Amino acid sequence: KQEVTQIPAALSVPEGENLVLNCSFTDSAIYNLQWFRQDPGKGLTSLLLIQSSQREQTSGRLNASLDKSSGRSTLYIAASQPGDSATYLCAVKNSGYALNFGKGTSLLVTP
Amino acid sequence: GAVVSQHPSWVICKSGTSVKIECRSLDFQATTMFWYRQFPKQSLMLMATSNEGSKATYEQGVEKDKFLINHASLTLSTLTVTSAHPEDSSFYICSAERRAGTEAFFGQGTRLTVV
């Protein structure tokens, strides 16, 4: 059974800092990996999707990398802003199945 | 990106009553939709896979007679929580994909409170 772990569980940084969120998974035979953002009491917003054949994806200030062989992904957020405060979820899909989610990293960016 | 609409966004019901939650893919057809549940401070846990025109596949520990799933069309799946109890209070959220294995899009979620 796929296990997804996210470190750290919580993170507080001052505005402007670059930061890295980590995600690891136990079964490297994945189909794709997706990073989401969840605001309190809200649904999920898809940030980046990385297919198993890809190494990274970028969108604006966000960059996600994937090392399938070692079972790791990182989400890099550049020049963080208070509006980035949210919970970030990493989810892994094995072929034909639903997403397996980590518990998330709760990010607080202070002005 | 694609749009998945979930309704209602929140509902309060009395213990023993049933609640229906709808999940619609607005601009694409989805043969498969997924239902998740999220308890406070926890991550999303898959409840069941909803397949258009056939029975849903439930995860271990999820009561199929309590959580009824119907996927009657390629754009609509419904989750009915029957005889709801306070322990069913949770955040329920659905997702859909244009094609299997592609990007998953999520609804806004439904906050269910059973009193």
Q: Does B25 score more than 90 pLDDT?
A: yes
Q: Which residues of B touch A100 (CB under 8 A)?
A: 46
Residues of B in contact with A40 (CB under 8 A): none
Buried/exposed code over A59-90 (b: 16+ C-beta within 10 A; e: otherwise): eeebbbbbebeebbbbbebeebeeebbbbbbb
Tell whether the model's pLDDT for residue A86 goes beyond 70.
yes
The Cα–Cα gap between B49 and B51 comes to 6
A79-83, A88-92, A102-106, B25-29: the lowest-pLDDT one? B25-29
Neighboring chain B residues of A42 at a CB cutoff of 8 Å = 108-109
* Rounded CA Rg of chain A: 13
Cα–Cα distance for residue pair A54/A29, rounded to 1 Å: 13
Contact of B2 with chain A, judged by CB distance below 8 Å, is answered with no
Residue to test with chain A: of B9, B33, B44, B94, most A Cβ within 10 A: B44
% of chain B exceeding 70 in pLDDT: 97
- pLDDT tens digits, one per residue of B44-55: 999 999 888 888
Band of pLDDT at residue B1, cut at 50, 70 and 90 = low
CA dihedral A64, A67, A68, A69 (to 10 degrees): -170
With a cut of 80, say whether residue B36 has pLDDT above it.
yes
Asked if pLDDT for residue B67 goes beyond 70, the answer is yes
